[in-house]
Amino acid sequence: MLPIPDYQTLMLPVLKLATRGETSVPEMASELAAQFGLTKEECDQILPSGRQTVLHNRIHWAKFYMSKAGLITSPQRGRFVASEIGRDLLAKNPDRIDVSLLLKNPAFKEFYRGSGGADSVGSTSPMSASSASLAPAVTPEEQIEAAYLAVHSALQTDLLQRILQNSPSFFEQVIVSLLVAMGYGGSHRDATQQLGRSGDGGVDGVINEDRLGLDRVYVQAKRYAPSNTVGRPEVQSFVGSLVGLGATKGVFVTTSTFSQQASDYARNLPQRVILLDGKTLTNLMIEHKVGVRISRALEFNRLDEDFFLEED
């Protein structure tokens, strides 16, 4: 079983399949999956953005780069086929088609330099085929999303560190701000008053589930160091408090993690108890802009296919 091939490895098989006639990325994906022995899970693997599968994305970029070199043409929307130039190249039986080979085409070289390919940044010298060995194995979208995930992970770490540096009461305010941002508790003032209640056994506070206060969610907050795992006994104590209060919904929040036994226990309860560990907590904080703010927004545009449709 092989991993999902990178887009350069896919170029040769994509071009070969495109010699059979007009095809599309979805049609080609199933054939390539069988050719490379990919499992269903690998075929269904999606980019972090959730908008496209990794396999489809890599086929798209293999096709796109080869089209810039004139190896592939697109006779109609969403369809493509090998060109005469592509067929002539295959007649030479190349072992591999990659960026190094495509750079022998002047049109592709000009495109690749202008698109920010290897050797194009901070240099005015022409692109050489040998420098294409620096071309990344991942697609541009994968590079962007990998960088985003790295920044996101670093921000999560920073958020947890700052929470741990502040007081337990500040941690409760973080939870209030997050729950209000998610639509719970009505106003921030009301939520603060509700969550500020303590002394109900293992419950730190209660917050309205909706603005009318038709139902309530009980909250337990544990500001622990990352090495201090919350075990089943603590979750069990919280659930016991819920039962004593006649409550059916609870949220247990910690800056650390939950043990597997604690997670399994909460999953099989008649009450609805949600466990939020440090990673989930910071993910939600970032999603709902609690304790963070936008530093820079990047906008990426795609071709609007509908714009170019002509009515008969």
43 φ, ψ (degrees, to nearest 5): -65, -30
Length of the chain: 312
**199-256 confidence digits (pLDDT tens):** 445 567 788 776 666 678 888 989 998 889 999 999 999 999 888 888 888 999 999 9
Q: What confidence score (pLDDT) does residue 127 get?
A: 38
Domain with CATH 1.10.10.10 in the chain: 7-138
Sign (positive or negative) of CA dihedral 91, 97, 101, 102: positive
* 7-138 CATH pick, 1.10.10.60, 1.10.357.10, 1.10.10.10, 2.30.33.40: 1.10.10.10
To which residue do tokens 């796109």 refer?
A: 64
* All CATH 3.40.1350.10 domain ranges in the chain, comma separated: 149-287
Which residues in the chain come in under a pLDDT of 50? 1, 118-134, 199-200
Q: Is the pTM of this model over 0.75?
A: no
pLDDT score at 139: 81
- Answer yes or no: are the C-beta atoms of 113 and 68 closer than 8 Å: no
Q: What angle do CA 164, 166, 167 make, to 5 degrees?
A: 105
State the pLDDT at residue 129: 39
Second CATH level (architecture) for the domain 149-287: 3-Layer(aba) Sandwich (3.40)
CB 175 within 8 A of CB 219: yes
